[in-house]
Structure formats: C-alpha cells, structure tokens
Structure 1
C-alpha cells in the first residue's frame, strides 16, 4: 500500500495530511505547538490518535520515541558507528531492530528488517519538493508505524543538518 505525504506544503505549523493511493485522506500528522520538545501525533481521519512521536529528552544522542496508547512502541536513533551518515536504527519495544538507510534528506530510503524490505520511501516521481511516498511493501507491516518511522527519521536528519 502506498501513502502520499504532503510534508508541510500548505501546513499551518507542522500539520499535514497523508493520503492513500486512492487519494483519500488516511492520516493527519498533527504537530503540537508550544511544547518544550518535538511532539507529533499521527491521527486517523476521524481525529483518533494512532501514534505519538516524541523527541527523547536528556539523551546523549538524538532520539525519538514512537508511542501507541501511552506505551513506547519504538525508539529511533542515528546509528553510531556507521560509515553512512544517513543510517538509523529503530528498536521496537520487544527488542526487534529495523534498519533505515539511504538518502534521508532526499526522501530516498528504505526500512528493512533482517535484510528484508518493509517500506520504501521515495519522491522520485514528484516534482513538488515536499511530496513523497511511503510504500509499505509487506502486507504484515504496520502502515502507521512505517509512516511514523519515515516522519521521525526525516525530522531527525533535518534537525541534524540545521545544527551543522
């Protein structure tokens, strides 16, 4: 299933819609203004919060947490000893690790588990700069989680770039 992300195009603050491949609004990324740390909510079209994304405070390395129903679902960090600058590790609550690598700022990267592709993020077919797809390849992959991972690593890479 492919999802089209219109990242910050006509957004007020950090809010933007993600559409399914039929063009229907599937998820809203709702940025929470006036918070001390970066916080986003991924909501369904009815406004129900599916996933919360939070910048992890007091961390030696930049990290973001993905939460579902108040419980930590995953933690994302830039991989430490990586020759590739754009390589992130997603550690799920039960200990499973996903790898995210590619050209994050160019919106050309993959999410993999044990070498198997779960999702591919790309803006190859779009002329509009802030539009890209999240193609969830495996049927058993969790689309809101894959979208949350994509949104988190892009925000982390942009923050890192801005800090340099």
Structure 2
C-alpha cells in the first residue's frame, strides 16, 4: 500500500500527516517542543498515541529510539562518518536487523530485511513541497515502516540543515 507523508511547518509547531493512497488521513506526526530531547509522537485518527520517536542525546552516532507503550521496539542508528555514503541500520526488539539503503541525497531509499525490500521511500514526484511517498510491501509492519521512514527523513533534514529540527 502507498502512503503519503506531508510535512507542515508552523511557527511553534511541526506536524506531518500520513495519508493512505486514497487520501484518507491515517496518522499525524507531532513534534514535542520545549523538551530536553527531540521527541515526536505518532497519533492515529482517533487521537491515540501509537508510537513515540525519541532522539538520544550525546551519542557518537545519530541514534533514535522508537517506542510503543513505553517499550523500545526499534533503534535506528546513522554512522557519523562512513567511506561509502550514509549508512543507517535498524535493530528491532525481536532481534531482526534492517538496513536502510539508497540515494539519500535525492531521498530515494529502501528499508530492507535480509535483502528483501519491505518499503520504498521516494520524494521523486513531490519535490515542489514537503511530501514523500512510502510504498509498504509488508503490510503487517506498516506502522513500524512508516515510523522508520519518518525517522530517516528527519535525520537527513537535520544533517543537511534544511529545517531547524533536532531529529
């Protein structure tokens, strides 16, 4: 299924909507301002928080934790220095290790598990606004894959200095 993530920047609040391919709103990503660490909340259409994204402070690698009900379900790391481009890795609670690979400069990347693509993220058709598509191939992991796509996108924005964010 294809999802569309649309970022909206307001004066004191950052928000993104995740819509289905049928233009139905599925989730809202809210940035929690005025906190010691960068925190995002993923909220469903009923207003229930389904996941929390927390950037760890003072780490050598850019590290982000994804939590559901207070329990860490994933850890995303981006190495600060690499010889062959950006390298992201994801460690899930069940021990699986996912890789995020692709063209990060153009924001075209895949989330893979042992060589199998679980999701493809693309800004190709949305360069005129802050939007990107997430094609999810593993629907049972759709929520987690959407959260991972948001984490990688915000990390890339932070590293390139496109927006004033800390995630």
The two structures have a TM-score, normalised by structure 1, of 0.89
Where does residue 3 of structure 1 map in the other structure? 3
Where does residue 150 of structure 1 map in the other structure? 149
| 1:86 is aligned to 2:93 | no
8 Å contact kept, 1:27–1:42: yes
The 1-side partners of 2:127 and 2:11 are apart by 18
Instruction: Note the alpha carbon deviations across 1:63-109, whole angstroms, 9 max, x for none.
Output: 00000110000000014775432220000112210000122342211
Where does residue 41 of structure 1 map in the other structure? 41
Distance verdict in 2 for CA 1:2–1:9, change over 3 Å: farther
Where does residue 102 of structure 1 map in the other structure? 102
8 Å contact kept, 2:60–2:80: no
| 1:20 is aligned to 2:5 | no
* CA RMSD between the two structures: 2.1
> What runs of 5+ residues in structure 1 fail to find an aligned partner?
none
| 1:132 is aligned to 2:127 | no
8 Å contact kept, 2:8–2:16: yes
The 2-side partners of 1:12 and 1:69 are apart by 26
Paired residue secondary structure (2:14): coil
Q: Answer with 43-52 or 97-106: which moved more.
A: 97-106
The 1-side partners of 2:91 and 2:80 are apart by 14
The number of equivalent residue pairs is: 162
8 Å contact kept, 1:2–1:134: yes
The 2-side partners of 1:76 and 1:70 are apart by 17
Instruction: Note the alpha carbon deviations across 1:18-74, whole angstroms, 9 max, x for none.
Output: 110110111000110111111001110111111100001232221000001100000
